[in-house]
Amino acid sequence: DDVRTPAALALPRAPERVPGDADALGELAQRLDREGRLQRVEVRGVCRRVRDGRQARRATRDLLAQMWRPTDGFFARHFDRYLSTAMSPWFVRWGVRPNTITLVATAVGLLGAVLLAQVRAAASVAGALLVVASTILDGCDGEVARISLRASPNGRRLDLLGDNVVNVAVFAAVGFHVVASAPAMVWVSTAAVLGIVVAAATGLWFSTWLDRAGLGERARAWYERASSRDFVYLVFALAVCDRLQWFVWMSAFGSFAFAAGLVVLRVGIDRHRRRSRAYKTVRGDV
């Protein structure tokens, strides 16, 4: 039962040919392996044999408990994950693909941004609530991908692209909302929108570099935690209090600071790695 590299099997379509127990499944795996039709998927943890409904429910709970990630922000860890892990098993049962969830989450976020841009307070609050809902859905795509063994680099890139599109739309919506109420804020709002575009582009550049540089999960965890979407809860709170102009002022400076920090960090890491390689060369280690 302690299998650390389980096999993902393409079972036959005919119901009568589906293995009836674990032993028959093992025989099928051996045959597919001999025929070169077996795809092995690296999975951390232990496979568990399930014999009854009680064990299945316990295994499901244990599996969902692993969905919390070190990259989660504060609200994702203490709020979003509780809702997304309640929803993800249903998406898996219904056969919903992770990329479909990503696209739906992006659409919900964009609809929220449209409402957030409205002058009426009720509309902006409803829009902020939809943006929060899109953030919760955004956690489901990764969970479904991991549960169904469909995680892929393309899925991660689509998720990152969707996040950045919604982020830019939310910042632009807040800017429109504030300028409609206070035209004098047009320059600050423009700076805030430009800042999030620069931050999003810099984030994509930095994330792509992380993949190529092979710095490991710790560096990616730090980046994803720093770029988490916890800010949507601040947007919601300020929309309820009718103080969205505060968010514009904060983002006008914060977005550029975040982008500058990523540039400085990459330059510093590149410089450190070059010095390390030069030192090893001098010592004759490489």
Angstrom CA distances, 49 to 2, 42, 141, 211, stand at 9, 18, 26, 35
CATH class of 62-283: mainly alpha
Distance CA 37, CA 51 (A): 28
Please provide the distance, in angstroms rounded to a whole number, between the alpha carbons at the two ends of the chain: 43
Report pLDDT digits (tens) over 239-263: 999 898 898 888 888 888 888 888 8
Q: Are strands 39-40 and 7-8 parallel, antiparallel or unpaired?
A: antiparallel
- CATH 1.20.120.1760 boundaries in the chain: 62-283
Residue 282 confidence class, pLDDT cut points 50, 70, 90? low
Strand partners, 8: 39
Report pLDDT digits (tens) over 112-130: 999 999 989 899 999 999 9
> 225 phi and psi, to 5 degrees?
-70, -40
Report pLDDT digits (tens) over 60-74: 777 777 776 766 777
Taking a C-beta distance cutoff of 8 angstroms, is the pair 108, 134 a contact?
A: yes
Report pLDDT digits (tens) over 208-237: 787 776 665 666 666 666 667 788 999 999
Distance CA 227, CA 186 (A): 26
Which pLDDT does position 110 carry in this prediction?
96
Report the Cα 166 to chain-centroid distance in Å: 13
